[in-house]
């Protein structure tokens, strides 16, 4: 990879991978080692979280197509070695979250991908991209499941901040771009659209009622968590990357 050319995004827009993709099988040990190293890097590089999470689904029998995507991520990293999250010197300690999902994004299982991110001040401090454990029957259901996961993370972060003497005085705002999912979060009555959903997911209604979190609407183009759910076009990817608080260190000089 020393002489490879950098690319602008970790994964091509609308790119899909299959478990039994065309291509020769590659050395599983080498593939696992590479993905393991990339997963370690996701602790400080939220911009590669979706791509690495996608590749982690093919650990058992990786093919050349899977390895090719992994090498693309390396090429992206090569061109962004000096990128990182910049935390401004500020007294702002207000925790804010964003949640999103890509409905039925896995073309084999038709399961959705949940993504969330939390900001504290100028930069992101916690993020996740994970395939949902069940098949959602609608976009609203997929977003509702993602919001529930985000809300439980919010409670955990609020407890940590409280231990650090930065107790949140107001409910943590979580932004979602699906109004139907927001309605499900706020409605304590079970009906046809929600009665089949796993009871654990409904925990978010309790958290909203107890004023631990509040779910608010945001336009799709301002939904930062979108970067954790699917491959994006270059312009949108860099817009959301900037909203994560990521910049090139050269710009600080």
Give tens-digit pLDDT for 36-74. Answer: 999 999 999 999 999 999 999 999 889 999 999 999 999
What whole-number percentage of the chain has pLDDT above 70? 94
Asked if residue 54 lies in contact with residue 11, where contact means CB atoms within 8 angstroms, the answer is yes
Residues 43 and 69 placed together within one structural domain of the fold: yes
Structural domain contains residue 146: yes
Alpha-carbon distance of 58 to 70, in angstroms, equals 11
Q: Which tokens in the block code for residue 71?
A: 């090498």
Expressed as residue numbers, the domain containing 63 is 1-81
Q: What is the mean pLDDT of the chain?
A: 92
34: number of CA atoms within 13 Å, CB side?
Answer: 22
Residue ending a domain, among 81, 108, 129, is: 81
Give tens-digit pLDDT for 82-136. Answer: 999 999 988 878 999 999 999 999 989 999 999 999 999 999 999 999 999 999 9
Say how many domains are in the chain.
2
Structural domain contains residue 141: yes
Say what the pLDDT of residue 120 is: 95
User: Bigger pLDDT: 187 or 236?
Assistant: 236
Residues 31 and 127 placed together within one structural domain of the fold: no
Q: How confident is the model at residue 197 (pLDDT cuts 50, 70, 90)?
A: confident
Residues 32 and 114 placed together within one structural domain of the fold: no
Residues 63 and 103 placed together within one structural domain of the fold: no
Structural domain contains residue 201: yes
Say what the pLDDT of residue 188 is: 62
Residues 142 and 72 placed together within one structural domain of the fold: no
What whole-number percentage of the chain has pLDDT above 90? 79
CA 24 to mean position of chain CA atoms: 30
Q: Which tokens in the block code for residue 10?
A: 């970790």
Asked if residue 50 lies in contact with residue 231, where contact means CB atoms within 8 angstroms, the answer is yes
Q: Is the pLDDT of residue 17 over 90?
A: no
């Amino acid at each position: 990879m020393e002489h490879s050319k950098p690319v602008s995004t970790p994964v091509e827009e609308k790119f899909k991978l299959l478990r039994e993709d065309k291509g020769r099988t590659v050395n599983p040990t080498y593939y696992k080692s590479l993905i393991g190293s990339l997963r370690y890097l996701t602790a400080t590089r939220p911009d590669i979280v979706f791509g690495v999470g996608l590749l982690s689904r093919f650990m058992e029998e990786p093919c050349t197509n899977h390895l090719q995507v992994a090498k693309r991520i390396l090429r992206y990293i090569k061109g962004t070695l000096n990128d990182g999250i910049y935390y401004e010197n500020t007294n702002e300690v207000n925790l804010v979250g964003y949640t999103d999902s890509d409905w039925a994004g896995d073309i084999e299982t038709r399961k959705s991908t949940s993504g969330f991110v939390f900001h504290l001040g100028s930069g992101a401090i916690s993020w996740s991209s994970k395939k949902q454990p069940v098949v959602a029957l609608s976009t609203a259901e997929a977003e509702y499941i993602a919001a529930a996961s985000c809300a439980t993370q919010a409670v955990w972060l609020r407890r940590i901040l409280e231990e650090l003497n930065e107790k949140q005085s107001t409910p943590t705002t979580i932004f979602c771009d699906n109004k139907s999912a927001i309605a499900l979060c706020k409605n304590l009555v079970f009906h046809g659209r929600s009665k089949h959903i796993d009871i654990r997911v409904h925990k978010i209604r309790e958290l909203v009622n107890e004023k631990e979190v509040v779910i608010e609407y945001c336009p799709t183009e301002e939904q930062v968590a979108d970067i954790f759910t699917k491959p994006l076009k270059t312009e949108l990817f860099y817009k959301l990357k900037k909203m994560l608080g990521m910049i090139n260190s050269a710009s600080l000089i």
